[in-house]
Structures are given as structure tokens and as C-alpha cells.
Amino acid sequence: MIAYILRRLLMLVPVLFGVVLVSFSLLHLVPGDPAQIMAGEVATAQDIARIRAEYGLDKPLVVQFGHFVWNAARGDFGISIQSRHPIKELLFQRLTFTLQLSLASILVASTIGLLAGMISSTRQYSVFDTASMLGALFGISMPIFWLGILLILVFAVKLHWLPSGGTGSLRYLVLPAIALGSASAAVIARMTRASMLEVARQDYIRTARATGYAERVVIFRHALKNAMIPVLTVFGLEFGYMLGGAVLTETVFSLPGIGRLLVEGIFMRDYPVVQGAMMVVGTTFVLVNLLTDVAYAFFDPRIRYD
């Protein structure tokens, strides 16, 4: 197991290099000059040239890329072109909030998705099964920003139960977590239902029922545990997408997360911020998938990574 984890961690190096290379190339293909944006519309050519020289934007792209990779390997992501703050500090502050939002969202998604999928599989073709699968289809299809705006209109503007955005106590995370976790809950529910129905046809489930075990014991001890492997795969992927894909949610609810920082960096052509944020997102996504693979062995003892 340890050797497997070390191999996966070594694979992180080429993955991050590819992420940095793609993000760096795409950023420089987008029209716009960060020095011009920073200097303002009334800046002179000398002012723009001075800013380019100060941040190394006047050097060839190969030199800029090599300089960033070398510094990033030592844990130095540079200084933000716009705010002039160390990018390491910006990423740490924003990532902390994004992790809180992602954990709250995956809690909502896993609770609703697992319960709906389990009940639907045990009551196949019932009214609840049909309603939950229609709800899952609706959750997968609707855009996150539309659901977020709808939640704000209902629970913040009309009912005044919850705040419409910003940060503070846990109440501020309720609406964003529901908006971000709804689509994942729908995916988890459908996968749980399909996996549970497949496991329920196995011989050992019929044997467990024939030996007199209570239905809840058959479901939780035998069926659910063996059905969790594909559900864990979806769980890990959805959590990774939440860490890197909370852009719309953080924008709608005015949340200071890493997704919003990434959007602001793209709009302002703040190259170091975007590249640093992409490295953080890529790293967390790979680590989440590694933890998901390790969890397979816990749910299924037949799986080994020797």
C-alpha cells in the first residue's frame, strides 16, 4: 500500500507540469496586456514598459515559464500583479474557504444521494423511486447559477431565513452548499440505486435473507458495503470537481473562494495568480482521487495494491 501511494505521489509531478503548461499557454493566447490593465487607460508607454520589466513580462515566454516552474518547485508562486500580495498567502486564504464550502456540499450530496439511492433500490418502481429519479434528473440538468439565484430569491429575499451571500457563521454556507451539492447528490443517488440493484441480485444477498437476517442488516452490512465501490468513485470525482468547479457558486453568492480568485485573475490577466490557483486545484484533485483509491481497500478486502 505504501509503495502504491508513493508511486501515485510521484505521478503528481508530470500532472502538475501539464496543468501549468496548459494554463500558461492558454493565458498568453487570450488577448489583453496585464501591464496595460494595471497601468490604466491614461498611462504612458514608459509606464507600461516599466511595469512589464518589473514583473518580467518583457521576457520571452519560455523564460517566463521556466522562471515560474523553478520558483513554484520551491514553493514560491510569486507576487500578484494586481494586488501585489504574495500569491501563497492569497491561495491559502481562499483555499481554506473553498475547502469549507466543498466539505459542506459533499456532506449535503452524500446524505441526500445515499439515502435517496438506497430507498429507491429497496422500493423499485414505487412512487418514491419514480419521484427521486425524476428529482435526480432535474438536479443533473439544472445549471448551478440558476439554482443559486432561485435559492436566494426564495430563502433570502422572500422568506428572510438565510443570508444571500458573504461570509460569517455556518448559516452563510447553507444555500451555497445546497446549490453546489445538488448536482452531485443527483449523480450519487443514481449510481447508488444502480449499484444496489445489481448487488441485490447476487447469491450471497439471497443467502443472507434465507438465513433469517433482518432486512436492515442485509441492506447495510451486506448490500451497501459491497455496492460502495462505484459510489466511491463518483464521490471522489464529485468532490474533486467541487474543489475546482465552485466558480459559479462562489460568484453568485459573493464568496471569497479560490474559484472566484481564479475568475478575477483571468479577467485581470493576473498570470501568476491563475497559474498558482491551477496548481492548487490540480494537486487537490489528484490527492482526492488517491484517497478514493485507498478507500476501496477498506470497503472491499479483496482489493490490494501490493
**Domains present along the chain, CATH in parentheses:** 87-299 (1.10.3720.10)
**In the prediction, which pLDDT does 302 show?**
64
- Residue 283 C-alpha cell reads as 494537486
Q: 150-159, 275-284, 293-302: which has the minimum mean pLDDT?
A: 293-302
**In the prediction, which pLDDT does 67 show?**
82
Average pLDDT, stretch 254-268?
A: 81
**In the prediction, which pLDDT does 140 show?**
82
Cβ count within 10 A of residue 160: 9
Q: How confident is the model at residue 306 (pLDDT cuts 50, 70, 90)?
A: low
Predicted TM-score of the model (pTM):
0.77
What would the 3-class secondary structure string for 220-286 be? HHHHHHHHHHHHHHHHHHHHHHHHHHCHHHHHHCCCCCHHHHHHHHHHCCCHHHHHHHHHHHHHHHH
If we measure between CA atoms, which residue out of 272, 251, 209, 199 comes closest to residue 230?
199
Most confident of the following: 87-96, 174-183, 256-265: 174-183
Residue 31 pLDDT > 80, yes or no?
no
Average pLDDT, stretch 124-153?
A: 85
Average pLDDT, stretch 180-208?
A: 85
**In the prediction, which pLDDT does 138 show?**
84
Average pLDDT, stretch 258-272?
A: 80
- Residue 63 C-alpha cell reads as 523564460
Sequence letter at residue 246: A
Most confident of the following: 137-141, 177-181, 222-226, 238-242: 177-181
Residue with more model confidence, 153 or 98: 153
Who contacts 96 (Cβ-Cβ below 8 Å, separation ≥6)? none
- Residue 128 C-alpha cell reads as 418514491
**In the prediction, which pLDDT does 1 show?**
67
**In the prediction, which pLDDT does 281 show?**
80
The pLDDT tens digits of the residues spanning 212-254 come to 778 777 887 777 777 888 888 888 888 777 776 577 788 888 8
Average pLDDT, stretch 131-151?
A: 85
Average pLDDT, the chain: 80
Residue 305 pLDDT > 60, yes or no?
no
Chain mean position to CA 22: 19
Cα–Cα distance, 268 to 270 (Å, whole number): 5
Most confident of the following: 53-57, 160-164, 167-171, 299-303: 160-164
**In the prediction, which pLDDT does 274 show?**
83
If we measure between CA atoms, which residue out of 94, 92, 87 comes closest to residue 72?
87
